[in-house]
Structure 1
Amino acid sequence: MAQTVLLDVSGVLYQGSTVIPGAIDALSKLRSAGWQVRCVTNSTRQPKRRIVGKLQDMGFSLRPEEVFTPVAAALAWLDRTGHSPHLLVHPALEEEFRDCKTGGPPAVVVGDAGQAFTYENMNRAFRLLNGGAPLLALANNRIFLNDDGELSLDAGSFVKALTFASGAEPRLCGKPDPEFFRAAAASAGCPPQQAAMIGDDAESDVAGALAAGLAAGYLVRTGKYRDGDETRYNPAPTALAADVLEAVEGILERNGA
């Protein structure tokens, strides 16, 4: 029986500055049933403190330790290997790396840099990679739903460009890396086979979670979801739900809660 639910954030709990209807109620239902909640996001345009603050300001009862971003995995790798980060990230995210060691061999760290994805910045990163620097991808998503309601290129497109040019294979720090899902579940004292995932990205959220060994993966028809996404990637979703509230109700019913 699943005991913990992992949830994507943007497109599942909120879109832009608007809470998705039923999302706050969905988290309340999980907690009332005795389930643990972990939010797992590949968002790299702002530091974790802002993500947590936004969720709390919107009315979600979440603690910082219940929110997982790829930065923690990247920082741990940098500390373990002694590399110094060469950042190709959004300026708002740079504060997360201010305590990193300097003077070590460079590692290129790529997030959703937005307007910072200039030719000059991409070429500077390429030259480091071409010289042997490792490549850390905070996320590898193809697209995201922007605040204007339209799909936009996500960090994965730029990671692919750097990989194509340099031949460097990225070390993925966020979804769909299996260890990202497992670490989030483990933080709740839950093995992956007793956890479920709810997301709007059939590839990164749902197929990634199922490949990591989670018991179930629910795809919601909010956020970046587009008709037919449930048939495009393997493993296929356990179920398709209208929104996070319907997904939570399905999980609880499926597990007799």
Structure 2
Amino acid sequence: MQNAAEIFDRYECVRQRLPLIRSQPKASSITSLLDISGEVDAFVFDAFGVLNVGEVPIPGAIDQIAQLRTRGHEVRVLTNAASFNPDATMKKFKRLGFSFYPEEIITSRSAALAAMDDRHWGVIADTADPLIDIPYQTTRLGSLEAPYGDVEGFLFLSTACWSDAQQEILERSLAHSPRRVVIANADLAAPRGDTFSIEPGYWGHQIADKFGVQVEFFGKPFQSIFQIGASSLGRIEPHKIAMCGDSLHTDILGANAMGWKSVFVTHDGLFNQLHPSELITTSGIQPDWITPRI
């Protein structure tokens, strides 16, 4: 996958594993979230493309969060970020200038860890990740083949140190002995400057395509992360919650499946070089509102 169009097409190819679409009226255009503040009690944000691009906050995002708080709205961040533990994620948002409380940030890593059981896990992670939030026995997997056969399940947190050769080792091990495969970041790809990185979801779908094994995906659009978000918002009705994201197949589809409202943010995200209306028509995934920035 070399460009945004190819990433979009790959999401379409794996639609059978994604949540089903609920019927939805045609989207309305808004200039900012303040236009719909009277219709929504809680705003839930994707991170990349909505709040920040890399290590830079998107213009106006910090101020907009502050204004929504002033108006009495609950705010949450729902991110497919599995490379960092909760402390590191908090530090990142603080470094960017956002003032979120720990309970307001919900990651796909947290959703995945909540679903794990007590077994010996082979973990695919950044070498800088201390793995201290995983309460079970772990072995960090690398280029040596033997450890893949010793573990009882696989947890995929990051592709930072992953390669085609290591993926082949993993697939050979699964072919010999099928085990649980937990993908803690359901994204297929992420922008990295002028290129795109391959994310854990890509490798997870490749495993599912090849072997037909039950790969477990966590993060948007899958429901466990949205359920954690909903629980954190107490008794707010689903139709009073709006998910704000830059991806139809993760943010908007996941919100739709939960009965939440959704805002498709188009200016800075993964598909900002593609035409929003064409993406909506091709996918059939319809947001409630469309805005360039929040």
- Structure 1 and Structure 2 fold alike (TM over 0.5): yes
Does the 8 Å CA contact 2:208/2:214 hold for their aligned counterparts?
yes
Report how many residues are paired: 240
The alpha carbon displacement at 1:153 in A equals 2.4
User: Equivalences for 1:13-92 in 2 at 5 Å?
Assistant: 13-79=51-117, 82-92=118-128
Structure 1 CA distance for aligned equivalents of residues 246 and 196 of structure 2: 13
In the aligned structure 2, how far is the partner of 1:96 from the partner of 1:12? 29
Asked if structure 1 preserves the Cα contact closer than 8 Å seen for 2:263 and 2:291, the reply is: no
- Give, as a single letter, the amino acid of the residue that structure 2 aligns with 1:11: G
TM-score (structure 2 length as normaliser): 0.74
CA–CA separation in structure 1 for the residues paired with 2:221 and 2:189: 14
Partner of 2:171: 126
Aligned residues of 1:87 and 1:94 also touching (Cα < 8 A): no
Whether the 8 Å CA contact 2:207–2:215 is kept in 1: the answer is no
Unaligned runs of 5+ in 1: 245-257
Tell me: CA distance 1:84–1:46, structure 2 relative to 1, closer, same or farther (3 Å): same
Match of 2:182 among 127, 136, 139: 136
For 2:75 and 2:196, locate their aligned partners in 1 and report how far apart those are by CA, in whole Å: 28
**Aligned 8 A contact 1:43 1:69 in 2:** yes
Q: Which position in structure 2 is the counterpart of 1:169?
A: 214
AA matched with 2:284? N
**What letter is aligned with 1:233?**
S
Q: Is the 8 A contact 1:39 1:66 kept in 2?
A: yes
Per-residue CA distance 1:157-211 (angstroms, 9 max, x = gap): 2112222333212111111112211211221213433211001112111122112
d(CA) in 2 for partners of 1:94, 1:164: 31
Q: Name stretches of at least 5 consecutive residues in structure 2 with no aligned partner.
A: 1-38, 140-149
The answer to whether the Cα contact below 8 Å between 1:71 and 1:96 also exists between their aligned partners in 2 is no
Deviation of 1:118 (Å): 4.3
Which residue is 2:197 aligned to?
152
- Residue 4 of structure 2: aligned partner: none
Tell me how large the CA RMSD over aligned residues is. Answer: 2.3
TM-score, L = length of structure 1 = 0.84
How far has the Cα of 1:74 moved from its partner?
Answer: 1.9
Deviation at 1:105, TM superposition (A): 6.6
Q: Mean Cα displacement is larger for which, 99-108 or 13-22? A: 99-108
| Corresponding residue SS for 2:153 | strand
Task: Among all aligned residue pairs of Structure 1 and Structure 2, give the percentage whose two residues are the same amino acid.
Answer: 24
Structure 1 residue 99: deviation in Å?
A: 2.9
Task: Please state how far the C-alpha of 1:145 moved relative to its aligned partner.
Answer: 1.2
Q: Which has the higher contact order (CA 8 A, sep 6+)?
A: 2
Partner of 1:249: none
> Could you tell me which amino acid in structure 1 is paired with residue 102 of structure 2?
P
Residue 193 of structure 1 aligns with an amino acid whose one-letter code is H
SS in 2 for 1:115: coil
Distance 2:162 2:93 in 1: 26
Q: CA 1:39/1:134 → structure 2, altered by over 3 Å: closer, same or farther?
A: same
